[in-house]
Amino acid sequence: ALNKGERFLKRGNFLLAKRELEIAQSLQHKLGYQSNVELTAKLQKCDIGFLYSITKNIVHKNIDNY
C-alpha cells in the first residue's frame, strides 16, 4: 500500500495516493508502530496537492469564462 501510494503521489493522482497511504498508516497502527512522520508528511502532501489541483482548475475555468 505504501509503494502504491508513493507511485500515485509521483503521478499526481492525489486521491488514490491518499487512500493507499491511509491504508498503509492503519496497517502500521495495527502492527503497533508509532505514527510515521514521513508517512504523515506524504498524506499532507496529498491534501495540499489535491487542493492545489482543484483551485488551479477553478482559476482556469474562470479565465475561460471571460
Q: pLDDT tens, 9-56?
A: 999 999 999 999 999 999 888 888 776 788 889 999 999 998 888 887
Confidence of residue 66 (pLDDT cuts 50, 70, 90): low
Q: What is the number of domains present in the chain? A: 1
SS (H, E, C) the chain: CHHHHHHHHHHCCHHHHHHHHHHHHHHHHHCCCCCCHHHHHHHHHHHHHHHHHHHHHHHHHHHHHC
- Expressed as residue numbers, the domain containing 20 is 2-65
pLDDT of residue 4: 93
pTM (two decimals)? 0.68
pLDDT value at position 32?
80
